[in-house]
Amino acid sequence: MKVYTKTGDKGTTALFGGTRVPKHHIRIDSYGTVDELNSFIGLIRDQQIDNQSKNTLITVQNKLFTVGAVLATDPQKVLLKNGKERLNIPKISQADINLLETEIDSMEESLPQMTHFILPGGHTTVSHCHVARTVCRRAERLATALYEIEPFQEETLQYLNRLSDYLFVLARKLSKDLQADEVQWIPDKLD
């Protein structure tokens, strides 16, 4: 199978189910941003971090392919007339969301309580986490906009929301592990 098919040369692409849409369609932007997020998570995983975090990130990367599949599926093509699913695509489960919550809770046990917003940075690895977190938030914004137009599995939105929280806490954990300073945002005082 060739990488290039030439079917998108006129600015359209196919969704799961065969429907063709413009490449600037919100659905394409939505799962394209999830793909971007997955690449940034790979960058975090390639850093010198603990094995538990690496393994969780591998799981997350796999689940992001599931999120992408959900977002890339034409909702009109999912069900047959008898109500059965025509396309056998994976789904995000409550267990997937629970895993992120468990990881967040575990990391937070060893972190100092937050009293201020934290400026992103302090170490390259931590900065990669913050970039991934912000890309995740953008993916979530796009997915929620798409959801308003063409609803899909609600757990997909919950997963993206929880994942951004996970990436924030992972950044804090890695700051601690790498002995990087967490710089607090202290707003200027009004005169």
Q: What's residue 8's pLDDT?
A: 66
Ramachandran region of residue 185, left (φ > 0), alpha (ψ -120 to 50) or beta? beta
pLDDT, one tens digit per residue, over 18-74 is: 677 756 778 889 999 999 999 999 999 999 999 999 999 999 999 999 999 999 887
pLDDT, one tens digit per residue, over 135-155 is: 999 999 999 999 999 999 899
- Domain residue extents for the chain: 12-107+116-177
**Structure confidence at residue 83 as a pLDDT band (50, 70, 90):** low
Q: How would CATH label the architecture of 12-107+116-177?
A: Up-down Bundle (1.20)
Cα 99–Cα 154–Cα 164 angle in degrees, nearest 5 = 50
pLDDT, one tens digit per residue, over 101-114 is: 999 999 999 998 88
- Three-state DSSP at 8 gives coil
How far separated are the first and last CA of the chain, in Å rounded? 66
